[in-house]
Amino acid sequence: MSVSALSSTSTASTASTTSSNSTLDNTQFLNLLVEQLKDQDPTSPTDPSTLMNQMMAYASYGQEELTNTKLDTLTTTVKTVASGLGIVV
């Protein structure tokens, strides 16, 4: 099986993008999953249970990202209220 230069360039580009960031955003996470599926060996496909685990990881990643955003907003609000009351946080 041969791999085209375009495909390996795309994979290398995605890998270098994710290694330069300390966290993945939702789009990068999904792009990595899609690249993995595109580059799998057709004679030995990914085990369905492994694929389901990866999809569940994707779903939980989205929820964790939403939770972090809400916690950041809550932290900012608490600091603003504390500042208004003259409390050092």
Count CA within 13 A, CB hemisphere, residue 73: 6
Number of structural domains the chain divides into:
1
- pLDDT greater at residue 37 or residue 18: 37
- pLDDT greater at residue 39 or residue 76: 76
Q: Which domain holds residue 52?
A: 5-85
- pLDDT greater at residue 2 or residue 25: 25
pLDDT tens-digit series, residues 27-55? 887 888 788 888 887 787 778 888 788 78
Q: What is the dihedral of CA 31, 33, 36, 38, to 10 degrees?
A: -70
What pLDDT shows up at residue 36?
82
What pLDDT shows up at residue 68?
94
